[in-house]
Amino acid sequence: MVSSIVITVVILLFTAVILIGTAAGMFFLFKTMAKAQQDKAQLLANGVPAQARIVSANQTGMFVNNNPQVAFQLEVQPQAGSPYPVQMTSVVQMVALPRIQPGMTVGVKIDPNNPNRLAIEGL
């Protein structure tokens, strides 16, 4: 009788630990995603406009709301200065995939404090 109560308590504690761990993980994930969206919105609003040529665009295998995350290699051409390479990832809406093929030029906004941090306009 006592051993079955102990087993039940251990199972309940184990279940509680799993549920709390899952909830904490989900909270961290959603908080991180919300921060990334906020940073992107701020960059699009306040960044320095430029053009970038897509060197490569490959899906990473991760999806957010059924939209693929894409790893980009870009050649950024700032309004002043020489072109430079940037690697970045971004979630892309499925309907936008045809607009991000290698060789195409896209508008970007560059962080004035970190030129390797940018956001692609219209994604």
Q: Are residues 4 and 37 in the same domain?
A: yes
SS3 content of the chain, % helix, strand, coil (to 5): 40, 40, 20
56 and 95 together in one domain: yes
Asked whether residue 79 falls in the same domain as residue 31, the answer is no
What is the model's pLDDT at position 83?
96
Determine the structural domain holding residue 23 and report its residue range. 1-46
More confident residue, 71 or 26: 71
Whether the Cβ atoms of residue 88 and residue 72 lie closer than 8 Å to each other: yes
Per-residue pLDDT tens digits for 58-70: 999 999 889 999 9
**Domain identity same for 42 and 52:** no
Would you say residue 1 has pLDDT above 70? no
Return the sign of the alpha-carbon dihedral for residues 40, 66, 71, 95: negative
**How many domains are contained in the chain?**
2
pTM listed for this prediction: 0.72
